[in-house]
Amino acid sequence: MENKRIRRIGLLTSGGDAPGMNAAIRSVVRTCIGNDITPIGVYRGYNGLLNNEVAELNARSVNGITSHGGTMLYTARCDEFKTEEGVKRAAQNCRYLGIEGLICIGGDGTFRGARDLAAQGIRTIGIPATIDNDIACTDYSIGFDTAANTAIDAIDKLADTMQSHERASIVEVMGRNAGHLALYVGLASGASATLIPEKPVNFESDVIEVIREGHYNGKRHSLIIVAEGVGRTNELAEMIKTQTGMETRVTIIGHIQRGGSPTARDRVMASRMGHFAVKKLIDGASSMVVCYRNSEIVATPIDEALQMKKDLDGYMYEVAKDIAI
């Protein structure tokens, strides 16, 4: 028997926002319309399903949003959705609203919700979007490139003034408990040392010594990148000052990394993933995550995806260390 063609697809963003989410939303909406499917925007993540905060979208609803960070559907975390009753109620509301399939844009928490909803009979597809790039089933998550470039731009500006005062600069970048963003930014910004949760270090031998050596070899400025999962930036600054005599300043870049106009990479990746997600629902798939793996866009079952662990890029860590001399 031919699969009943899907006619109405919901989409939502959940968890921490990421630049490029709007490009994914635009791609989902336009792909739906091109396939004679009604796209339904769900506002404020899973809360929107529980509170029926939804609106039918059309091609004009997503005009000009590609170049804007953030998410036009807003986002929020939803505790009620973590309960069985909450998931059941959301599934009921989907059926009441005629939402036959749902595209959930966000991180691992978003995918756990999508998996639970699929178990209640609502077909779901996840799209990976988090600046942390810590989703194991995909080599790339929407938002990472933009956040990295935002941090690098800030660090390049910092380098001007730190150089002028011959100071050490400690910069904390986001990433929650992962070091992918910090490592990438550290390599790109020429850091003397990059501290990440996956690679515990001894401040004395791995940082102070490196700064001393750099200073001895004529470095007028030392940059240390610290992932927020490591923290201890003020303690480190104090150590550098007392043990090397170098004046030191701490900068925590913070939420600026979550905003800004998405880079071309994020816009293109988000557009490809959004299109692919709709096609998977049309093909009858459910409880899958769209992934970028070996330069291809593929789909992985959510259960499998959530079991996977994302390893650090060990070679990138080695390169960053070796060329920091």
Q: Measured between alpha carbons, how far is residue 73 from residues 11, 55, 165 in Å?
A: 9, 10, 45
Q: Does 145 bind ligand F6P (CB under 6 A)?
A: no
Binding region for ligand F6P (CB under 6 A) out of 86-94, 130-138, 157-165, 260-268: 130-138
Q: Measured from the CB atom, is 16 or 41 closer to ligand F6P?
A: 16
Q: Which residues of 27-43 are buried (b: 16+ CB within 10 A; e: fewer)?
A: bbbbbbbeeebbbbbbb
Q: Does 113 bind ligand F6P (CB under 6 A)?
A: no
- Work out the burial of residue 312: count CB atoms within 10 Å of its CB; fewer than 13 is exposed, 13-18 middle, 19 or more buried: middle
Q: Does 175 bind ligand F6P (CB under 6 A)?
A: yes
Q: Does 131 bind ligand F6P (CB under 6 A)?
A: yes
Q: Does 47 bind ligand F6P (CB under 6 A)?
A: no
Report the alpha-carbon angle 242-244-250, nearest 5.
70
- Cα within 13 Å of Cα(157), Cβ side: 7
* Positions 15 through 34 that interact with ligand F6P (CB under 6 A): 16
Q: Measured from the CB atom, is 75 or 189 closer to ligand F6P?
A: 75
Helix axis angle, 180-188 to 314-322, nearest 10° = 30
User: Smallest distance from the beta carbon of 47 to ligand F6P, in angstroms?
Assistant: 15
Which is nearest to 286 in space by CA: 103, 37, 142, 84? 103
CA dihedral 170, 176, 182, 184 (to 10 degrees): -160
Binding region for ligand F6P (CB under 6 A) out of 24-32, 37-45, 93-101, 125-133: 125-133
The count of chain residues that interact with ligand F6P, using the rule CB under 6 A, is 9
Q: Does 132 bind ligand F6P (CB under 6 A)?
A: yes
* Positions 274 through 313 that interact with ligand F6P (CB under 6 A): none
User: Smallest distance from the beta carbon of 89 to ligand F6P, in angstroms?
Assistant: 25
Q: How far apart are CA 55 and CA 43, in angstroms?
A: 8
Active site includes 132? yes
Binding region for ligand F6P (CB under 6 A) out of 19-27, 110-118, 124-132, 195-203: 124-132
Q: How far apart are CA 215 and CA 325, in angstroms?
A: 11
Tell which one of 88, 89, 112, 176 touches ligand F6P (CB under 6 A).
176
Q: Measured from the CB atom, is 41 or 229 closer to ligand F6P?
A: 229
Q: How far apart are CA 110 and CA 163, in angstroms?
A: 43
First to last CA, the chain: 66
User: Smallest distance from the beta carbon of 131 to ligand F6P, in angstroms?
Assistant: 5
Q: Does 228 bind ligand F6P (CB under 6 A)?
A: yes
Given the residues 132, 134, 145, 266, select the one marked as catalytic: 132
Q: Are 154 and 259 within 8 A, CB to CB?
A: no
Q: Are 165 and 247 within 8 A, CB to CB?
A: yes
Q: Does 40 bind ligand F6P (CB under 6 A)?
A: no
Tell which one of 30, 123, 258, 280 touches ligand F6P (CB under 6 A).
258
Known catalytic residues are: 132
Q: What residues make contact with ligand F6P under the rule CB under 6 A?
A: 16, 130-132, 174-176, 228, 258
